[in-house]
Amino acid sequence: MLSQIGHLLIQTAFGVFVYALLLRFYMQWLRAPFRNPVGQFVSAITDWLVKPVRRVVPGLLGLDLATMLIAWFAEALMLVLIYWLRGLSFASAPGIAAGLLFTVAAMELLRASLYLLIGVIVVQVIISWVNPRAPLAPVFDALTRPFYAVFRRVIPTIGNVDLSPLFVLVVAQILLILLDNVARLVPGGG
């Protein structure tokens, strides 16, 4: 029981931070506006670590590598704590364990990115139905537009309904299935 509670607390604390880092990374990459409650929350929760790391890790081609690196290390640290809580040790082969750990952490970041995309699409679709001029609509539009554009080129609207969100959701789900199958092949990843 205490192990389950510890697992929940570790996943919650690190999960919120990792998702905030990923959202920050994607908001910057996709040029989503930060002058809104979502951007302010993401900045408030991540600035304390991202700004100092940016002095050491520069960006590359418009990508905020510092933010992604912090997310990767945070995910790896979360995995170490969860494995430690389960009673697993890395002492026998630390080099191999570290390689596997960072591979699993990268796969988990990809999984979290897909779940983040799914969540953003669901919120964006609801906002577009309820109040398309909501203050947060530009943020969600900026985060989803590049993914919708792929399908909007080939799939016409039907009865004034844009089906591109549905197709992006299906592709994201397929990628999650593929990722789960790959994760089963990696020791400690499934």
On whether the CB atoms of residues 22 and 112 are closer than 8 A, the answer is yes
In a domain, 190, yes or no: no
Closest CA to 113 of 36, 45, 182, 20: 20
Please tell me the distance from the alpha carbon of residue 89 to that of residue 100, in angstroms, as a whole number: 13
Task: For residue 96, name the pLDDT band (cuts at 50, 70, 90).
Answer: low
Task: Report how far apart the first and last C-alpha atoms of the chain are (Å, whole number).
Answer: 22
Q: What is the pLDDT of residue 188?
A: 60
In a domain, 18, yes or no: yes
- What share of the chain has pLDDT > 90, as a percent? 73
Please tell me the distance from the alpha carbon of residue 137 to that of residue 36, in angstroms, as a whole number: 10
The percent helix, strand, coil of the chain (3-state, each to 5) is 75, 0, 25
Residue range(s) defining the domain that contains residue 117: 2-185
Asked whether residue 18 carries a pLDDT value surpassing 90, the answer given is yes
In a domain, 148, yes or no: yes
The stretch 25-42 carries a mean pLDDT of 95
pTM: 0.91
Which tokens hold the place of 28?
């910057």
Q: What is the pLDDT of residue 114?
A: 98
**Tally of domains within the chain:** 1
In a domain, 125, yes or no: yes
